[in-house]
Structure 1
Amino acid sequence: MELMLWEWLGTLVRWLHVIAAIAWIGSSFYFIHLDLSLRKRAGQAEGVMGEAWQVHGGGFYHMQKYGVAPARMPEELTWFKWEAYTTWLSGFALLVVVYYVGAATYLVDPAVAALSPMQAVGLSVGGIVLGWLAYNGLCRSPLGKSDLWLGLATYGFLVLAAWGFAQLFSGRGAYMQVGAMAGTMMAANVAMVIIPNQRKVVADLLNGRCPDPSLGKQAKQRSLHNNFLTLPVVFLMLGNHMPLAFGSPYAWVIVALVLPVGAAIRHFFNSCHAGKPTPWWTWGVAAAGMAGVIALSIAGTAHAAEPPKGMTAEGFAAVEEIVTTRCSMCHAAQPAWDGIVAPPKGVRLDSADAIARHLIQVRVQSALTHAMPPANVTEMTAEERAILRAATENLRPGW
């Protein structure tokens, strides 16, 4: 009963995290779009820097933005912050429930680094905290005066983090760690910079003082960073379900490519919203970046053990023995592995028919990559992976 409740806790926290992320990303994308679509028109009220007319759901909306703040505080003011806070809190809770409680399975890989679960958790938490401090330091340094140089420095920092965590954690754990670190940077931008700056502006208005324009500029810069980081962070958070990405020996290089791909896509939409010439070249950058990602994942499979000579798909009996020995203790109707109450993702490998149905997944997860078993907890050998690779060599989707 306790294990089932724990499993449901993870499911509910994951659901909450996705819902909150949708709300946060949606509001972030909307306000970036609104900000870029504002136009200066004759007859606007004093202090208004631009306005936009919009139609949605059968109604018309007239949106205005003040350069700093209105002359006096409105009676009602909506604050956009809880979406970000809920996303981070639920995300960290999910990190604890899945990756910290199950650190021996999902975070630690003895083939990468000899870490105890507690050491891995400590490095993860420390990395998240230090990640924010380093990023915030870059923003407050002289680099912060240039969006271009600050962006390049932040990119280099994230790539370095991806490489570093790949030397410490399992591929799955490294992806989740970089995603958690970047997500923390985004949420902390809201909690530590954007909202505090807005509160200072409100306090100045209530006390009859002229608000400092630099507060709004600083908040806008952090908001723009969040906008460009959103798509890569979503990729990283989904990456733990993509073994061809996190299971590749070039996983950190894939992260280095995904970051500019996400930024290029956001630049395309931001430019369109601002009424600038359509930068179609961004899709060429995105396509080239993803082609590089796919090429690296394919190249990474060359590191798998070569199949023994003469081995063909007819060796299904050998495949069945390997899968039954190394995989079925978790992928069974009633898993025998402690802490698992249902077959992961509903995949059962406890019969010949079930194994035959999932041979393509077996090939991707255990032959072309070392994604499964996680952290190789059942000690699948290189020879066994070679047999799996040979037996599944000619499979195609829909087999």
Structure 2
Amino acid sequence: MGVVETMIGIVVCICLSGTVVIQKLVQQYAEDPNRQNEKDKDFAANMRFFRKWLFFIAAFFSGAYIIYNQVAGTPWQAHLQEWLDLIFRWLHIIFGISWVGASFYFVFLENSLNRTEEIRDELAGNLWAIHGGGFYFLEKYKIAPKQIPKHLHWFKYEAYFTWLTGTCLLTIVYYFNAESFLLNPEITQLSPVLGVMIGVSSIVFSWVFYELLSQTSLLAPEKRPIFFLIMVLYLLAVAYCLSIVFNPRAAYIHMGAIMGTMMAGNVFFVIIPAQKEMVFAAKEGRAPNGELGKRAGWRSYHNNYFTLPVLFIMISNHFPSTFGNEHSVLILLLISLAGAGIKHFHNQWERGELNRWIVPISLVLLVLTIYLTAPKSREELANADKVPFTEVEAIIGQRCRPCHSKTPTDDVFIVAQGGMMFDTPEQIVASKDKIMNRAVITKTMPQGNKTKMTMEERTKIETWIMQGAKLED
């Protein structure tokens, strides 16, 4: 059984088992007269919601398995995978924009509240705003209003669906094609199933580590720098370990999945439960626990600082000089710190506070990253023995053209990736800079070195380009 069949079987079994367990739990709640309060009814409603989604996921993957068996080994296999990639990537971006936008907006709102002028006792602050041709007036309560409004909007599904579509995308691109995208045989010899298990385990374990650390006293104001340092060192260690095991591009994406899971976990396990408890307390006439709101607020700030590093990782696969560099882990660290620093400056600026050193330090980190990713000069190759184009064309024909052609022969890619084709000498010469970057400098092509391009072949391509990329032998 292959990695695709194994993963689909595991997902379907987990989902179906979950629906059975949840059904029994909901039935127990419905029959128990002591569980008819507002909180228990809300819990049962949530369980019914998750039962529907688990059943939908099980049905989806079961259908996908049937279709996969029908199209396996045919051109439709790659075609359907490409469309799944496109659809879930599109959805991931749509939900991600909604989530990040909400995060940025509410942190801005919190930082920009008027907390002093004409504020009623029960309010923490207010804000006047103008947008889209209209005036808006917003108020924040210190804890909760005396009466909960009938229509209360919750910001949670943006986070949930961003995480779900991201998980599907990770599975479709990296786990279903583990041999090509997840693993690099030049780095380590792992089976696809073991590689997938390592990837999933790294995400789950990292979330557990973050959650346990967040429940310690290190979130106290005077200890937050220690919390930040521990998290940076932990993520740095995980990134290094993944870079040893995985394809560089897959290692980066898994770091994005790890941080994204921490963010979604904050929403699902901390922020939303805290908000629900405050709503229940207000409805029942109890004094809401203000500490729950503070805890949720700090997790929301954590998510706010994660956003720029995660957004960088989302686009990094288009820039091989980052993930394909020999210092890829250091580059990820520098850009993440720079992004978090710029976000910190922005948050302080919205509060009317300014630390003038944050932006210069962040810019220095970015400049250092640009320096680290700069190509090394190999001018001596210009005077080396001449490499004829016929040799380069033979190498590209054997190692690159299976994917980069008008009629690809690869079993995964049915169209030329990135629109790059090497069918003619003119196309090869026109793409020499990209070939230099991907095949020589970053060594991120061929994908997972699927066609076994050797270092000697990469050097010949580099020498030919340094000698002017001439067609004449």
Give the structure-1-normalised TM-score: 0.94
Of 298, 305, 324, 1:228 maps to 305
Q: Deviations over 1:104-133 (max 9, x none)?
A: 011101222211111110000011100100
The aligned counterpart of 2:325 is 248
1:320 and 2:393 matched: yes
Percent identity reads 37
Of 31, 46, 64, 2:121 maps to 46
Distance 1:317 1:58 in 2: 64
1:67 and 2:142 matched: yes
Amino acid at match of 1:155: V
1:310 and 2:388 matched: no
Residue 119 of structure 2 aligns to a residue whose secondary structure is coil
Of 265, 288, 291, 2:364 maps to 288
Where in structure 2 are the equivalents of 1:79-158 lying within 5 Å? 79-145=154-220, 146-158=223-235
Of 370, 373, 377, 2:446 maps to 373
Distance 1:28 1:44 in 2: 25
Distance 2:210 2:357 in 1: 29
Could you tell me how far 1:148 is from its partner in structure 2? Answer: 2.3
Of 340, 348, 360, 2:433 maps to 360
Residue 64 of structure 1 aligns to a residue whose secondary structure is strand
Segment of structure 1 superposing worse, 140-149 or 329-338: 140-149
Amino acid at match of 2:142: G
Where in structure 2 are the equivalents of 1:268-287 lying within 5 Å? 268-277=345-354, 279-287=355-363
Q: Quick check: 1:307–1:386 contact (8 Å CA) kept in 2?
A: no
The aligned counterpart of 2:79 is 4
Amino acid at match of 1:183: G
Q: Quick check: 1:311–1:387 contact (8 Å CA) kept in 2?
A: no
5+ residue gaps, structure 2: 1-75
Q: Quick check: 2:183–2:190 contact (8 Å CA) kept in 1?
A: yes
Amino acid at match of 2:121: E
Give the structure-2-normalised TM-score: 0.79
Amino acid at match of 2:438: Q
Could you tell me how far 1:395 is from its partner in structure 2? Answer: 6.9
Q: Quick check: 1:265–1:283 contact (8 Å CA) kept in 2?
A: yes
Could you tell me how far 1:28 is from its partner in structure 2? Answer: 0.6
Residue 373 of structure 2 aligns to a residue whose secondary structure is helix
Distance 1:212 1:129 in 2: 30
Of 179, 187, 196, 2:273 maps to 196
Could you tell me how far 1:144 is from its partner in structure 2? Answer: 2.3
Distance 2:239 2:467 in 1: 34
Segment of structure 1 superposing worse, 40-49 or 331-340: 40-49
Cα distance, 1:265–1:42 mapped onto 2, change above 3 Å: closer
The aligned counterpart of 1:19 is 94
Could you tell me how far 1:32 is from its partner in structure 2? Answer: 0.5
Distance 1:393 1:293 in 2: 25
Could you tell me how far 1:5 is from its partner in structure 2? Answer: 2.4
Of 251, 261, 265, 1:174 maps to 251
CA RMSD of aligned residues (A): 1.9
Distance 2:362 2:425 in 1: 42
Q: Quick check: 2:78–2:411 contact (8 Å CA) kept in 1?
A: no
Residue 408 of structure 2 aligns to a residue whose secondary structure is coil
Residue 63 of structure 1 aligns to a residue whose secondary structure is strand
The aligned counterpart of 1:336 is 409
Task: Detail structure 1 runs of 4+ shifted over 4 Å in the superposition.
Answer: 306-309
The aligned counterpart of 2:464 is 391
Q: Quick check: 1:319–1:387 contact (8 Å CA) kept in 2?
A: yes
Cα distance, 1:223–1:311 mapped onto 2, change above 3 Å: farther
Cα distance, 1:395–1:234 mapped onto 2, change above 3 Å: farther
Residue 208 of structure 1 aligns to a residue whose secondary structure is coil
Cα distance, 1:202–1:362 mapped onto 2, change above 3 Å: same
Q: Quick check: 1:38–1:50 contact (8 Å CA) kept in 2?
A: yes
The aligned counterpart of 1:297 is 373
Q: Deviations over 1:218-254 (max 9, x none)?
A: 1111111111111111111212221111111111111
5+ residue gaps, structure 1: none
Amino acid at match of 1:167: I
Q: Quick check: 1:3–1:341 contact (8 Å CA) kept in 2?
A: yes
Amino acid at match of 1:232: P
Could you tell me how far 1:264 is from its partner in structure 2? Answer: 1.1
Residue 53 of structure 1 aligns to a residue whose secondary structure is strand
Residue 392 of structure 1 aligns to a residue whose secondary structure is helix
Could you tell me how far 1:333 is from its partner in structure 2? Answer: 1.2
The aligned counterpart of 1:187 is 264
Distance 1:134 1:307 in 2: 49
Distance 1:372 1:358 in 2: 13
Paired residues in the alignment total: 391
Could you tell me how far 1:359 is from its partner in structure 2? Answer: 0.8
Residue 25 of structure 1 aligns to a residue whose secondary structure is helix
Could you tell me how far 1:394 is from its partner in structure 2? Answer: 6.8
Distance 1:266 1:67 in 2: 25
Distance 2:318 2:374 in 1: 17
